[in-house]
């Protein structure tokens, strides 16, 4: 059986950061990635991954199988994600991918920190759980993550005029300014909410220097490389290292462990389209897939081994959640000239702040530079309107509305509760014949109060002068932000990993990524995932002498 110093499962942002650290130390690293490398062509959009989820009909017991799929995907992306989910319409439509770079390869670049109070929910608001790490402890690693990911954002002079901006940032590049559309919307809504400039992991430079050109294709393919993508910025720096053993299109079928010794003993792997399994051992194991994939790997390992995952077994998959969202198409009374600049420049974030007596979670609003559900170009609007059955005068009016139309999204924090959970699907399997996750999410009273607050703000906005109408587009849980289910804690009775992401039960196992979260917060999680990973790799004393196999500290 092959042995490595470090075995890393998942070549996304956390996996590549981990590999970089250990390779710099001269360690022998095995990096296992279920997917492959993504190299989209600007000349062939059929090579582009798409954010698109389809659903099967609901089963008799109320479950729905959802898949990330789109025309041509089976040929070019044969191993896209799927999950079994229940509690429609608030089900979880998993919308990510397997491959080098992970979710940090397919994202819009939004780079918010969590609010300081997000780490102290129980202490301040009397619900949820406090994180075992404080915002103050994480702040230096937020700084480092913003530098690493080349985040553009507002200066301290600019943020000093904001009603709510609880951070001290020193962004590398100037912000993407609020657009004419943003300013028109702000003039209409007045004091209901203040639009602030968003931080983006996107170089705000001239195009000839590799800056953003406003192509609106950030998620699938950035034409200038302006947006931070984990493969281009991290993988290319390590791929030629002689100590790296990279195995793509290879699935980690299960882990095996010695409970008495408190150690993971091996990872069992299988290559794509092969029925043969083989095992590898390592001094250290890092699970660096996204939260759902890490959870299901542990759960199916328990089934295959007929052995519990130590004292924290009952917490695996529990307290899982994601952000909730509502989206509207906004029609203004006058032209606002959409589709200029980046997909979105401004957000209302002051509603994240609240008092304990409000008994709700945080809410923010994103203002988009187009009605992205219809498309970024009048031709796309035309095709979708015709497909929907519009014709004649109705069609003409809808097309003439293009210059007045854009979208807004209400994003809200959801409670992490014991009933929000991930288990293994009893019926559905993936490309490798392994059970897909079964995600059970629902809204509790805290979530319902949060929704009522957010919808109240939207009602106020809809009555403002200058706004013609708001048309609901959709709502649900965000399928791109799986969080929790392997949360940090001070004991195995309340979580799966400690404050650095090391397993409570297995001293040579670290589980990184969004699964560590103890609350969802209201903001995009990518920057926080990066900061938590950097903190583990640099600040955990047990990893500073990684020759000491799974040292106790």
Phi, psi values for residue 167, rounded to 5°:
-120, 160
Torsion angle (degrees, nearest 10) of CA 461, 467, 469, 470: -40
Query: 267, 286 in Cβ contact below 8 A?
Result: no
Predicted model pTM? 0.96
Span 17-64, pLDDT tens digits: 999 999 999 999 999 999 998 888 888 888 899 888 888 878 878 889
End-to-end CA distance of the chain: 29
Who's near 240: CB < 8 A, 6+ residues apart? none
Query: 329, 176 in Cβ contact below 8 A?
Result: no
Distance CA 319, CA 295 (A): 12
Phi, psi values for residue 355, rounded to 5°:
-110, 160
Q: List, in sequence order, every residue forming a beta bridge with 342; answer none if it has no partner.
A: none
Running DSSP on this structure, what letter comes out for residue 238? H
Query: Would you list the DSSP string of 45-57?
Result: GGGS----EEEPP
Neighbours of 534 (CB within 10 A): 21
Check residues 55 and 522 and name the one with the higher pLDDT.
522
Q: Mean pLDDT score of the chain, rounded to an integer?
A: 94
> pLDDT confidence of 548, banded at 50, 70, 90?
very low
Mean per-residue pLDDT for 176-197?
98
Query: 64, 88 in Cβ contact below 8 A?
Result: yes
Scan for tokens 């994480």, then name that residue.
138
pLDDT given at position 553: 43
Query: 338, 180 in Cβ contact below 8 A?
Result: no
The pair of three-digit structure tokens given for residue 492, joined into one six-digit string: 């195995």
pLDDT given at position 388: 87
pLDDT given at position 240: 96
Span 311-351, pLDDT tens digits: 999 999 999 999 999 999 999 999 999 998 999 999 999 99
Query: 367, 391 in Cβ contact below 8 A?
Result: no
Span 373-416, pLDDT tens digits: 888 778 888 888 888 899 998 888 888 889 999 999 999 999 99
Cβ burial of 320 (10 Å; 0-12, 13-18, 19+) is: buried
Phi, psi values for residue 383, rounded to 5°:
-65, -40
Q: Which residues of 278-298 are buried (b: 16+ CB within 10 A; e: fewer)?
A: eebbbbbbbbbbbbbbbbbbb
Span 463-521, pLDDT tens digits: 999 999 999 999 999 999 999 999 999 999 999 999 999 999 999 999 999 999 999 99
Span 63-103, pLDDT tens digits: 899 989 888 888 888 789 999 998 888 889 899 889 999 99
Query: 250, 239 in Cβ contact below 8 A?
Result: no
Who's near 433: CB < 8 A, 6+ residues apart? none
Torsion angle (degrees, nearest 10) of CA 485, 490, 492, 494: -50
Who's near 198: CB < 8 A, 6+ residues apart? 110, 112, 153, 175, 176, 344, 345, 346, 347, 366
pLDDT given at position 552: 46
pLDDT given at position 547: 54
Q: Please give the order of strands across the beta sheet that includes 324-332.
A: 195-197, 344-348, 363-368, 405-412, 324-332, 467-477
The pair of three-digit structure tokens given for residue 28, joined into one six-digit string: 């022998």
pLDDT given at position 61: 80
- HSE-CB at 29 with a 13 A cutoff on CA atoms is 30
pLDDT over 90 percentage in the chain: 82
pLDDT over 70 percentage in the chain: 98
């Amino acid at each position: 059986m092959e042995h490595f110093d470090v075995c890393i499962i998942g070549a996304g942002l956390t996996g590549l950061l981990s590999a970089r650290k250990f390779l710099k130390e001269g360690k022998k690293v095995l990096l296992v990635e279920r997917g492959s490398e993504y190299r989209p062509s600007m000349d062939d959009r059929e090579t582009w991954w798409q954010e698109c989820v389809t659903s099967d009909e609901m089963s008799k017991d109320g479950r729905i199988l959802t898949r990330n799929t789109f025309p041509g995907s089976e040929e070019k992306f044969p191993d896209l994600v799927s999950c079994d989910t229940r509690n429609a319409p608030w089900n979880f439509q998993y919308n990510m991918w397997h491959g080098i770079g992970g979710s940090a390869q397919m994202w819009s670049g939004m780079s918010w920190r969590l609010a300081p109070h997000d780490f102290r929910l129980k202490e301040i608001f009397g619900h949820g759980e406090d994180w075992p790490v404080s915002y103050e402890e994480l702040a230096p690693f937020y700084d480092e993550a913003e530098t690493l990911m080349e985040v553009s954002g507002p200066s301290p002079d600019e943020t000093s005029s904001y009603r709510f901006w609880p951070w001290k940032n020193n962004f590398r590049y100037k912000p993407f300014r609020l657009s004419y559309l943003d300013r028109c919307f702000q003039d209409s809504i007045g004091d209901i909410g203040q639009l602030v400039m968003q931080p983006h992991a996107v170089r705000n430079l001239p195009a000839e220097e590799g800056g953003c050109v406003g192509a609106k294709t950030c998620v699938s393919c950035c034409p200038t490389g302006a947006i931070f993508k984990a493969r281009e910025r991290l993988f290319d720096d390590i791929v030629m290292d002689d100590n790296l053993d990279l195995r793509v299109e290879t699935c980690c079928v299960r882990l095996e462990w010695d409970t008495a010794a408190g150690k993971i003993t091996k990872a069992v792997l299988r290559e794509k389209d092969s029925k043969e399994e083989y095992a590898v051992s390592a001094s250290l194991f890092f699970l660096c897939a996204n939260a759902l994939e890490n959870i299901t790997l542990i759960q199916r390992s328990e089934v295959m081994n007929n052995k519990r995952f130590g004292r924290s077994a009952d917490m695996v998959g529990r307290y899982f959640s994601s952000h909730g969202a509502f989206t509207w198409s906004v029609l203004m009374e006058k032209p606002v000239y959409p589709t200029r600049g980046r997909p979105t420049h401004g957000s209302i974030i002051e509603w994240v702040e609240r008092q304990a007596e409000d008994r709700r979670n945080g809410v923010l609003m994103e203002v988009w530079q187009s009605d992205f559900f219809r498309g970024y170009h009048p031709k796309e609007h035309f095709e979708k309107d015709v497909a929907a059955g519009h014709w004649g005068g109705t069609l003409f009016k809808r097309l003439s509305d293009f210059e007045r139309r854009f979208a807004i999204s209400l994003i809200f924090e959801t409670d992490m509760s014991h009933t929000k959970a991930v288990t293994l699907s009893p019926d559905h399997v993936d490309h490798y014949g392994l059970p897909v996750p079964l995600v059970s999410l629902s809204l509790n009273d805290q979530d319902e109060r949060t929704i009522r607050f957010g919808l109240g703000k939207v009602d106020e906005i809809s009555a403002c002068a200058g706004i013609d109408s708001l048309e609901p587009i959709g709502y649900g849980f965000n399928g791109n932000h799986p969080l929790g289910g392997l949360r940090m804690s001070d004991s195995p009775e309340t979580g799966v990993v400690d404050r650095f992401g090391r397993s409570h039960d297995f001293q040579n196992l670290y589980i990184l990524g969004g699964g560590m979260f103890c609350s969802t917060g209201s903001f995009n999680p990518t920057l926080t995932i990066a900061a938590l990973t950097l903190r583990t790799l640099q600040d955990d004393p047990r990893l500073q002498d990684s020759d000491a196999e799974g040292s106790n500290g």
